[in-house]
Structure 1
Amino acid sequence: MADRQGVLVIGEVANGKLNPSSTEMLAHGRKLADSLKEPLSIALLGQDLGAAPKEAIAFGADKVHAVTDPLLKEYQVDAYLAAITKVAQQHTPRVVLLAKGPIGSEVGPRLAFRLDTAVIQDCLEVRIDAEKKLVGNRPVYGGNCMATITSLGEPMMAIVRPKTGDPLARNDSRHGEVVAFSPRLEASVIKSRVVERVEKAQEGVRLEDAAIVVSGGRGLGSAAPFTNEIKDLADLLGAAIGASRAVVDSGWISHDHQVGLTGKTIAPNLYIMVGISGASQHMAGCSAAKVIVAINRDSDAVIFNDARYGVAGDWKKVLPAFIQQIRAMK
């Protein structure tokens, strides 16, 4: 361990800009690096990284490994894995962080195998303990419990959920080092190829990116409100539609809309919850919401402990009146 130093974030670049999840990972990484009193670096991969390296420094990185190669023009797991492995082997970080997502979830376990270590997956929180070990909190048993896991490998690795922390404030006056790194990849590293890319049909704003989210829970009584009152309110506010786990398990709406430990993690400016009790499994997925508004007929529902504004009443009366008032204001 003595030879290892620093925290390395595996970043993601899209159209020459830093992916939002990477700015969040830099915030997590900055906290870990400060605890260790060691530097924070980030590896950015692509053929043309654009302004992403400067962005990374502005969001907290001390050093940027600018990893460029023609085979990295688009994401391909074999090429990315080969390049990241070379970076990690050459620079021997103490900690490696990835964002949970298509890239992190695919590359992370493979990278851990290549580096002969282990990775803590699906973390909601990471920290350094008194013995300078990486500790991660993650959901287990279908989100019904939280496990605290200590990494014993070298390097210590974690895959962290996006939306579990805010990025640091951007500071374009920060100074850092950008180091060019050429992995010199051979075409033979590619074991698979992309045959076709199909964009997923998306109606309205993505749940994870929405500034406003309207969610329904089991208290709605049936699936009908999701195509009526909930949808009407969401359309009026330009909001995405979310749901509790109980609703998804009942088949009232697809899993794409689920918020919580076993669903999406969101951080909207405004989160309106209708008929949701506020169980910890759900709240873990929306704890970063700036303002929570709760509508629930049970005045003792635990959601009112977390909501800034609460309405104890029958949603069938409250929601139509709320919708009417919003329409009158437009």
Structure 2
Amino acid sequence: MAILVLAEHDNQTIKAATLNTVAAAAKLSGEIHVLVAGANCAAAASEAAKIAGVAKVRVSDAAHYESHTAENVAALVVALVANEVAGYSHILAPSTANGKNVAPRVAALLDVAQISDVTGIESADTFVRPIYAGNAMATVKSSDAVKVLTVRTTAFEAAAMLANEGGAASIEPLAAGLDLGLTTLKGRELTKSARPELGAAKIIVSGGRGLGSGENYHKLLEPLADALGAALGASRAAVDAGYVPNDYQVGQTGKIVAPQLYIAVGISGAIQHLAGMKDSKVIVAINKDPEAPIFQVADYGLVGDLFEVAPELTSALA
């Protein structure tokens, strides 16, 4: 039986989360197929065919898939599973906003349990996932005929992209399903920034309530992030206080990140925040409170006044 990976894409390019999900699928036994559902998405399909380990790309190109509404995509996936001669043993989606929107609908329509935020694959039916905000890990065994998983992408190294022009995987067209008309996309507001995207950045500078205001956040952290070529993040406390927008939030209810370097400035280290960044390769904490919980997970800790330390660090990097 084969494994189906739901591609995350913008109709032109494949998002990085798809590569991590394919890497997770590679730990299972079976041929890996990638589903690209979109509108005018031939470029994304061609890119998906170049992902190492992918045997087949299934492409459904229709106008009602342009905005990737969950109801339409879920119905397409279920129809594909029902009509596939060889059958699919696993359906994997990245644990992104889109993946977490589609996968539960697929599981419900197939009448199977969904296993969320998978961080480890022990066998074809046994998976590891975090519980209690990441403070414990649960090993889950599923007896469902089709396993529906969302994959925590930071737990798996990205699959490689093949250099050859055509790619190794075959590309097969897939008949579009009906437009269910249950939801309509009214608009999309995208934050544009010259800095790296938070979820995929290799270096992140993150600020907390200790900064005191949004003005201090921007004055102290933006020069530091620019010097490092880093993305900017924030704790929930900083977001709730209005220092920065919601899409800066790192944590259990924000973005889960695992950069090469994570610098936490003025962040105490609440469980909610630690759940979103503790898998970072190197964690640096700057806080005036030597008892702050962030120091328990930090590789390097500096006890000091962030209003003095952050400018000094920026100057040293300039």
TM over 0.5: yes
Corresponding residue of 2:21: 25
CA 50–144 in structure 1, closer or farther in 2 if over 3 Å, else same = closer
Distance 1:228 1:112 in 2: 46
**Counterpart selection for 1:127 from 121, 143, 148:** 121
How far the C-alpha of 1:137 sits from its partner, in A, is 0.8
Return closer, same or farther for 1:55/1:288 CA change in 2, 3 Å cut-off: farther
**Equivalent position amino acid for 1:285 in 2:** G
Counterpart amino acid of residue 100 in structure 2: S
Preserved contact between residue 120 and residue 136 of structure 1 (Cα < 8 Å): no
Between the two proteins, the alignment pairs up a number of residues equal to 312
Q: Contact conserved, 2:134 with 2:275, CA < 8 A, in 1?
A: no
8 Å contact kept, 1:210–1:240? yes
Give 1:89's aligned residue.
82
Q: Distance in 2 between matches of 1:144 and 1:248?
A: 21
1:118 aligned residue: 113
Equivalent residue, structure 2, for 1:244: 235
Amino acid at match of 1:41: H
Q: Is the partner of 1:107 in helix, strand or coil?
A: helix
- Alignment match of 1:260 (pick from 222, 229, 251): 251
Per the alignment, in what secondary structure is the counterpart of residue 137 of structure 1? strand
SS state at 1:42 partner: strand
- Contact (CA 8 Å) 2:262, 2:283: kept in 1 or not? yes
1: distance between equivalents of 2:178 and 2:236? 45
Kept in 2: contact 1:209–1:266 (CA 8 A): yes
Aligned partner of 2:7 in structure 1 is 11
What SS is found at the alignment partner of 2:88? coil
**TM-score (ref. length: structure 2):** 0.81
Q: Distance in 2 between matches of 1:192 and 1:219?
A: 41
SS in 2 for 1:193: coil
Q: Distance in 1 between matches of 2:20 and 2:134?
A: 26
- Letter of the 1:128 partner, please give it: E
Deviations 1:123-151 (A, max 9, x none): 0514134xx414241344xx374462443
SS at match of 1:62: strand
Question: Could you tell me the TM-score, scaled by structure 1's length?
Answer: 0.78
Superposition RMSD in Å:
3.3
Asked if 1:292 corresponds to 2:288, the answer is no
Give the Cα separation in 2 of the matches to 1:169 and 1:86. Answer: 30
**Residues 1:170 and 2:170 aligned together:** no
- 1:7-42: CA deviations, max 9, x gaps? 2111133243222111111011112x1xxx322222
Equivalence for 2:102: 107
- Aligned position for 2:35: 43
1:311 to 302, 312, 315: 302
Unpaired stretches in structure 2, ≥5 consecutive residues: none
Q: Which moved more, 1:71-80 or 1:244-253?
A: 244-253
Q: How far is the alpha carbon of 1:318 from its aligned partner?
A: 1.7
In the TM superposition, residue 251 of structure 1 has moved relative to its aligned partner by 5.7
Deviation at 1:53, TM superposition (A): 4.1
Q: Which amino acid aligns with 1:67?
A: S
Q: Partner residue of 1:282?
A: 273
CA contact (8 A) 2:13 2:47 kept: no
What is the CA–CA distance in structure 2 between the aligned matches of 1:200 and 1:302, rounded to whole Å? Answer: 34
The residue type paired with residue 21 of structure 2 is M
Distance 1:175 1:230, change over 3 A: closer
Q: Which residue of 1 aligns with 2:59?
A: 66
The separation in 2 between residues aligned to 1:73 and 1:257, in whole angstroms, is 26
Q: Which amino acid aligns with 2:251?
A: G
Tell me the secondary structure at the aligned position of residue 162 of structure 2: coil
State the SS of the aligned residue for 1:228: helix
Q: Is the contact between residue 120 and residue 155 of structure 2 (CA under 8 Å) also seen in structure 1?
A: no
Q: For residues 165-207 of structure 1, what are the alpha-carbon distances to aligned partners after superposition, in whole Å with 9 as ceiling and x for unaligned?
A: 32023334697442524324345x333433x323234455342
Contact map agreement 2:58 2:174 (CA 8 A) in 1: no
Q: Deviation at 1:324?
A: 3.1
1:199 and 2:189 aligned = yes
Provide the C-alpha distance between the structure 1 equivalents of 2:268 and 2:75, rounded to a whole number of angstroms.
46
Say whether the 8 Å CA contact 1:119–1:151 is kept in structure 2: no
After TM superposition, give the deviation of residue 51 of structure 1 in Å. Answer: 5.5
Distance 2:214 2:131 in 1: 27
The structural deviation recorded for 1:73 is 4.2
C-alpha contact 1:139 1:261 (8 A) present in aligned 2: no
Shifted more, 103-112 versus 301-310: the winner is 301-310
| Percent pairwise identity | 31
Name the CA distance, whole Å, in 2 between partners of 1:177 and 1:200: 32
Q: 1:245 to 1:135 in 2, by over 3 A?
A: same
Shift of 1:58: 2.9
Q: Residue deviations 1:219-251, cap 9 Å, x none?
A: 546666324323443355454332234444566
